[in-house]
Amino acid sequence: MTRRSSQTPGPVRVRVPGKINLHLSVGDLRADGYHDLVTVFHAVDLVDELTISPAERHTVSTEGASAAVPTGGKNLAGAAARLLAKRTKAGGPVAIQISKQIPVAGGMAGGSADAAGALLGCAALWGLELTRDQLSEIAAELGSDVPFALAGGTAVGTGRGERLSPVLARTPLHWVLALADGGLSTPAVFAELDRLRSHADPPRVAGVQDMLTALSSGDPAQVGAALGNDLQAAAISLQPGLRRTLRAGLAAGALGGVVSGSGPTVALLCADPAAAAEVAAELAGSGTCRSVRVASGPAPGARVIG
């Protein structure tokens, strides 16, 4: 499956985006422990950067992370390098340095982004000529969110989230991201949703069509009104302070707000960059989150830079 072109002596630098789920509807628990999803992924310019160099043994180091992340093979970027070598029978040990802006365990798929970056970067370093589809297949083995981190832009995700179809939504969207103290574990949030559903029947988000129509209108107010996430109730159940963050963002003038993925990051959509700066300033003073970032999307997927 693999052809080789000239090998880059290295180092290779790669930039990868974080994501927000504009829409996330979660089906019931499957026999394999996963849930069927219908989601609209949206990549934003809050990014991690990886520098990948040939080395005597595999290492992974991180700087700027909002919480501890594993080193070596337990880091998703290290796991990605090893899996790519195994699947293509190519490559050698690499040192991966990650400069992180994407919050750790924040619901923005930071670990998945790093895995996507390592796949792309190692493929370049090792001179592998893989198509995007071949890389995406390996990405799906590493996690449900990894194929989207490779693709970027805005896309509908189905299956576990790994089956993608791009959405043409070129109008830029301006976001304020409220970063929380601590993270939430993705499996724990899915399990909390199952628990809530076993006791009652919490409302489910509407069909994905509302969001697709809103995106094609290019009107951020319509997109704000269509934001929805079935995991939000579960994330709030585990971290009740998120309700106050959402309220504070809307009171500050955001057009809409939603917990991103499994949380706890809250994404607030604003009309334009000036409105985002105002909402960010007000939210930062509200005492309802650890810190705020402004970001915009859609951002490109993993790409080699420099």
Ligand X SMILES: Nc1ncnc2c1ncn2[C@@H]1O[C@H](COP(=O)(O)OP(=O)(O)OP(=O)(O)O)[C@@H](O)[C@H]1O
Q: Which residues bind ligand CDM (CB under 6 A)?
A: 21, 24, 33-35, 37, 39, 109, 112, 143-145, 160-161, 186-187, 190, 261-262
The residues binding ligand X (CB under 6 A) are 69-70, 75-77, 98, 104-112, 114, 145, 183, 186, 261-262
**251 among annotated binding-site residues:** no
**113 among annotated binding-site residues:** yes
Q: Which does 88 bind (CB under 5 to 8 A by kind): ligand CDM, ligand X, none?
A: none
**Residue closer to ligand CDM (CB basis): 265 or 288:** 265
Active site residue 89: no
Tokens 């670990």 sit at which residue?
111
Q: How far is the CB of 241 from ligand X (least distance, A)?
A: 17
Tokens 């790994």 sit at which residue?
162
Q: How far is the CB of 52 from ligand CDM (least distance, A)?
A: 21
**25 among annotated binding-site residues:** no
Active site residue 74: no
Q: Which does 114 bind (CB under 5 to 8 A by kind): ligand CDM, ligand X, none?
A: ligand X
**Residue closer to ligand X (CB basis): 188 or 221:** 188
Distance from C-alpha of 260 to C-alpha of 264, rounded to nearest angstrom: 7
Q: Which residues pair with 128 in a beta bridge?
A: 4
Which CA distances in Å does 26 have to 10, 202, 206, 208, 258? 42, 12, 11, 12, 15
Helix (H), strand (E) at residue 43: strand 35-54
Q: Which does 117 bind (CB under 5 to 8 A by kind): ligand X, ligand CDM, none?
A: none
**Residue closer to ligand CDM (CB basis): 11 or 157:** 157
**72 among annotated binding-site residues:** no
**105 among annotated binding-site residues:** yes
Distant-in-sequence, close-in-space partners of 51: CB < 8 Å, separation ≥ 6: 11, 12, 13, 96, 97, 99
Closest Cα to residue 272, out of 220, 226, 233?
A: 220
Which CA distances in Å does 59 have to 73, 85, 103, 150, 189? 8, 15, 21, 22, 30
**Residue closer to ligand X (CB basis): 69 or 270:** 69
The helix/strand/coil state of 141 is helix
Q: How far is the CB of 183 from ligand X (least distance, A)?
A: 6
**109 among annotated binding-site residues:** yes
The helix/strand/coil state of 261 is coil
Residues 299, 182 contacting (CB under 8 angstroms): no
**Residue closer to ligand CDM (CB basis): 120 or 252:** 120
Residue ranges of the annotated binding site for ATP are 103-113
Q: Which residues are catalytic?
A: 19, 145
Residue ranges of the annotated binding site are 103-113
